[in-house]
């Protein structure tokens, strides 16, 4: 069980991290922190922002899977010694599991609150004279990080304490003795922060890596799309997703299908040379909208090796065999996702690699395919089946290629019976709205597997019980939320446990 982690007033207790040419973040080698002597120049606020991203690395290095995927239907546990993973997959959560502790999220939020308050005061003191772009960048990213954390927390726990003021004098969150806030109020704060951040942030930065690994206007549009789909406001989701799709100079689907290469007849390692595979192996793809950067040189690792590739032992998760069987024999994503029938290697090369120096794979939070499929789902909800099909078609043809023609004898996508052939299109058009959404969700399941999306998709579309009930006995809607860690409640008695776990 984790102890509640204190929200620090600055960066003094963070490890000194020297900036690296690989890193998208500028990190100063700070060794001590005095609040009274800080917040006097823009570089200090920029260093504080780097500290917020550093904390996000710690918060989601494996948790993005544990919260977003481990309770769903795509993973299995190959060994019986991991109590948390077994509890997640078996729907036997208890409030003494470490994963139920939200402290790390509040470390990010606490750092963001410090930045938001102090950069505004710095500007009032004239510190940001002739540096409006830098002020906007720091403030916009801090607002976006705070909003993202609160959105993810409400997905996991429902009502959470809404704290928007910094905690001074090395206090912790419990010094507020704040009870849980109604999620509607938290959602309002999320929307307010995101819309303000969107007005402040640029579309890109001169550093290509920074454009993917820190928040931009497109990153905020992605979070807003996610937020509005979660809130069942498809009209707004369509507005913000369109901003991303229209920005073709910034975002495009990474290439996978190549008419000149039959990857199915070649060694599996050849798939690693595709732009699609490199998106996960190397990071910073043109398809990426917002990802968390990790760097071996800076001593940060994402935990993906232990989750999936196994390191020197056995992986914590393998693919659920029923899910793995959903991929057709010509779906090139199988070569990217797996090294064997169920061994997950999506983020790693299929041949040999250095398990020490290459255990720093980035965590992709949002990419273009995710937004395209959310948009397709929104169009189905609105009754525009043609628009939905055209978006679904883009994802499938990236994998299978365009339908076969006289000049394109594509063996993966027959013009009639293929994944985007005339029969499949007619079938999709004739489906009920609910069944058409099921098709989109299955495509999301295949495309975004092992990226922390599936559980939230099931909850968002109210399919969690119908899908997971037969698998792990989930029957009670109150069981969908995670429990709140007992240590949190002990330290702050005003926190009330979620009903199912009382």
CATH number at residue 136: 1.25.40.390
Tokens of 150: 């609160």
The predicted structure's pLDDT at residue 169: 55
Give the span between the Cα atoms of 317 and 298, in whole angstroms. 27
The predicted structure's pLDDT at residue 80: 82
Asked if the structure places residue 248 within a domain, the reply is no
The predicted structure's pLDDT at residue 14: 35
Asked if the structure places residue 80 within a domain, the reply is yes
Domain count, the chain: 1
Letter string b/e over residues 463-494, b meaning 16 or more CB atoms within 10 A of that residue's CB: ebbebbeeeeebeeeebbbbbbbbbbeebbee
Asked if the structure places residue 498 within a domain, the reply is no
Asked if the structure places residue 82 within a domain, the reply is yes
HEC sequence for 186-253 = HHHHHHHHHHHHHHHCCCCCCCHHHHHHCCCHHHHHHHHHHHHHHCCCHHHHHHHHHHHHHCCCCCCC
pTM over the 0.85 mark:
yes
Asked if the structure places residue 130 within a domain, the reply is yes
Which positions of the chain have pLDDT values less than 50? 1-21, 28-33
C-beta separation of 487 from 2 below 8 A: yes
Residue 288 pairs in a beta bridge with 367
Residues 6+ apart with CB under 8 A from 75: 65, 69, 89, 317, 318, 319, 320
C-beta separation of 395 from 372 below 8 A: yes
The residue range of the domain holding 195 is 35-216+480-489
Residues 6+ apart with CB under 8 A from 248: none
Nearest alpha carbon to residue 362 among 20, 60, 67: 60
Tokens of 142: 């801090």
């Amino acid at each position: 069980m984790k102890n509640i982690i204190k929200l620090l007033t600055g960066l003094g207790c963070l490890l000194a991290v020297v900036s690296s040419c690989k890193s998208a973040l500028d990190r100063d080698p700070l060794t001590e922190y005095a609040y009274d002597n800080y917040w006097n120049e823009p570089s200090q606020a920029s260093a504080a922002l780097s500290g917020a991203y550093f904390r996000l690395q710690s918060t989601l290095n494996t948790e993005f899977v544990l919260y977003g995927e481990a309770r769903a239907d795509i993973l299995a546990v190959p060994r019986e010694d991991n109590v948390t993973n077994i509890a997640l997959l078996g729907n036997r959560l208890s409030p003494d599991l470490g994963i139920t502790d939200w402290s790390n999220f509040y470390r990010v939020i606490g750092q963001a609150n410090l930045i938001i308050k102090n950069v505004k005061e710095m500007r009032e003191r004239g510190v940001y004279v002739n540096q409006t772009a830098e002020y906007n960048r720091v403030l916009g990213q801090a607002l976006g990080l705070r909003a993202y954390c609160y959105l993810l927390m409400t997905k996991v726990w429902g009502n959470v304490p809404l704290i928007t003021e910094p905690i001074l004098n090395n206090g912790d969150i419990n010094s507020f003795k704040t009870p849980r806030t109604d999620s509607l109020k938290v959602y309002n704060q999320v929307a307010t922060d995101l819309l303000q951040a969107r007005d402040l942030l640029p579309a890109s930065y001169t550093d290509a890596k920074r454009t993917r690994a820190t928040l931009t206007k497109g990153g905020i549009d992605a979070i807003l799309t996610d937020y509005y789909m979660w809130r069942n406001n498809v009209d707004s989701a369509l507005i913000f997703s369109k901003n991303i799709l229209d920005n073709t100079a910034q975002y495009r689907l990474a290439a996978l299908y190549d008419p000149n290469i039959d990857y199915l007849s070649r060694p599996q390692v050849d798939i690693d040379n595709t732009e699609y595979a490199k998106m996960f192996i190397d990071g910073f793809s043109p398809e990426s909208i917002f990802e968390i950067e990790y760097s071996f040189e800076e001593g940060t690792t994402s935990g993906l090796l232990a989750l999936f590739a196994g390191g020197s032992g056995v992986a914590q998760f393998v693919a659920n065999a029923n899910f793995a069987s959903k991929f057709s024999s010509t779906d090139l994503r199988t070569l990217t996702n797996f090294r064997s029938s169920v061994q997950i290697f999506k983020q790693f090369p299929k041949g040999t690699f250095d398990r020490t120096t290459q255990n720093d794979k980035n965590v992709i939070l949002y990419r273009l395919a995710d937004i395209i499929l959310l948009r397709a789902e929104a169009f189905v909800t609105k009754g525009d089946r043609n628009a939905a099909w055209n978006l679904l078609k883009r994802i499938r043809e990236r994998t299978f290629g365009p339908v076969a023609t006289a000049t394109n004898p594509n063996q993966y996508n027959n013009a009639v019976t293929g994944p985007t052939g005339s029969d499949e299109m007619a079938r999709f058009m004739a489906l009920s709205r609910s069944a058409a959404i099921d098709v989109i969700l299955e495509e999301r399941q295949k495309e975004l597997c092992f990226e922390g999306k599936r559980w939230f998709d099931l909850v968002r579309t109210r399919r969690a019980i119908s899908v997971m009930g037969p698998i792990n006995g989930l029957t009670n809607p109150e069981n969908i939320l995670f429990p709140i860690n007992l240590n949190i409640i002990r330290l702050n008695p005003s926190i009330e446990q979620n009903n199912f776990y009382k």
